[in-house]
Amino acid sequence: MDRRGQPATLAGSRRTVAPAQAVMLVGLALVGPLVLVAARRWPGPVVAITAVAAAADVIVNDSGGPPYIAFGFGIIGAIVRGARVWAWISILVAWTVTVAVAIVFPQTGFEGPRAVGTTLGILLAVAIGEALRTRRERYAAFRRRATEARQSELQAERVRIARELHDVLAHSLSQINVQAGVGLHLLQRQPDSPAAAEQAGQALASIKDTSKTALEEVRSVLGVLRAENGADPSAPLVPEPGLDRLGDLTVPGVRVELDDRLRHEEVPQPLQLAIFRIVQESLTNVGRHASGATVARVLLDRDDTGYRITVRDDGSGAASVDDVGSGGRGVLGMSERAELLGGSLTAGPAARGGFEVVAELPTRIGAA
């Protein structure tokens, strides 16, 4: 009521507003901001409540008010936070109710510029919400791809280190096991024979040298795991094995014949390491699984297509039976090495007996 005892009027309105109506308008104006506080946790119910408030505002207010602003924010929040169904249903219901009320009660004033402005405002809120949702999804997809890339790099590094450790330990421990068995056999069968004692001493010396080399290589590989910048200051600086160390590879009880036709200075170091590891693993499998083998021939050659590495034994068993029959990882590791460099590897029984491993590597790293 004003000072003359007449009902109060709202500024800008075309009709007098009763006290009860004024209270209702204030309540509708407050309900939107209050429920928007919970929009992060319950975006669906919030957009529904603001839609009801906006539709109710049409009935009690002929000039439009704050509920429509809260409804716009509710639409944006619901779409962005994954409650699109809630948003679209709320818009449809609120718009249908509003139009129905405007038709039944023309005095509400929901026509002309007000109807057009409200419609454009709702469409603008939907467009903003969809744009923000699309941007958020793209950002989430980018982060997911970045995380997957980091995990792939870490997994690849783990596989590489596991492969190195397998190659080092399998070859070295195989030699140590055979030499220890030979020494023990000689000492048990011929304890008083000077020749047997000398051979046993040679076996122990071989065990000492092999274990020392293996420990240095293992420490060098594990140094990468302990360091923050890819190098462990406490680890020995052991050079990566190359073609010049192929002559050091031996198989107890088997003569290794090396036919190296490559010019070492022309072979990149990553290829030299791969060739060394492939030959090393092949000879390890000869010593462990080739029954009755007496000779293992290693041929390194090059033609117009790339490098060709062949390791063949004259035994009667599969040199890589651990991989073919019992789930080992020797041939798998060699194949992975070749494929990472753009090459290929095959392993299986040779045409003239024994077992044969053939690796073909490109002259350029990564070439297909």
Q: How do residues 354-368 score in pLDDT, each as one tens digit? A: 899 999 999 876 554
> 57-60 long-range contacts, Cβ below 8 Å, gap at least 24?
57/25, 57/28, 58/98, 58/101, 58/102, 58/108, 58/110, 59/101, 59/105, 59/108, 60/21, 60/24, 60/25, 60/28
What is the average pLDDT across 119-128? Answer: 85
Last residue in a domain, options 111, 137, 161: 111
pLDDT tier at 332, thresholds 50, 70, 90: confident
Spatial contact of 359 and 278, defined as CB atoms under 8 Å apart = yes
Residue 311 has pLDDT above 60, yes or no: yes
Last residue in a domain, options 63, 80, 111: 111
Report the distance separating Cα 116 and Cα 120, nearest Å: 6
Confidence (pLDDT) at 328: 52
How many domains in the chain?
Answer: 2
* pTM across the whole model: 0.48
Question: How far lies 135's CA from each of 44, 77, 84, 172, in Å?
Answer: 20, 14, 15, 55
Better pLDDT: 308 or 239: 308
pLDDT tier at 6, thresholds 50, 70, 90: very low
Last residue in a domain, options 73, 89, 111: 111
- Whether residue 154 lies inside any domain: the answer is no
pLDDT tier at 188, thresholds 50, 70, 90: confident
CATH number at 270 reads: 3.30.565.10
H helix runs in 108-241, sequence order: 113-189, 194-226
Report the distance separating Cα 43 and Cα 85, nearest Å: 11
What is the average pLDDT across 237-266? Answer: 84
Spatial contact of 292 and 316, defined as CB atoms under 8 Å apart = yes
Confidence (pLDDT) at 18: 63
Spatial contact of 287 and 178, defined as CB atoms under 8 Å apart = yes
Spatial contact of 60 and 26, defined as CB atoms under 8 Å apart = no
Q: Which residue segment(s) compose the domain that 341 sits in?
A: 240-368
- Whether residue 120 lies inside any domain: the answer is no
- Whether residue 147 lies inside any domain: the answer is no
Report the distance separating Cα 11 and Cα 79, nearest Å: 35
Better pLDDT: 328 or 157: 157
- Whether residue 128 lies inside any domain: the answer is no
Query: Which of 103-112, 134-143, 327-336 holds the top average pLDDT?
Result: 134-143
Report the distance separating Cα 143 and Cα 10, nearest Å: 52
- The mean predicted confidence, pLDDT, of the chain is 77
- Whether residue 24 lies inside any domain: the answer is yes
Confidence (pLDDT) at 360: 93
- Whether residue 25 lies inside any domain: the answer is yes
- Whether residue 342 lies inside any domain: the answer is yes
- Whether residue 169 lies inside any domain: the answer is no
Residue 105 has pLDDT above 90, yes or no: no
Least confident segment among 8-22, 27-41, 67-81, 218-232: 8-22
Residue 300 has pLDDT above 80, yes or no: yes
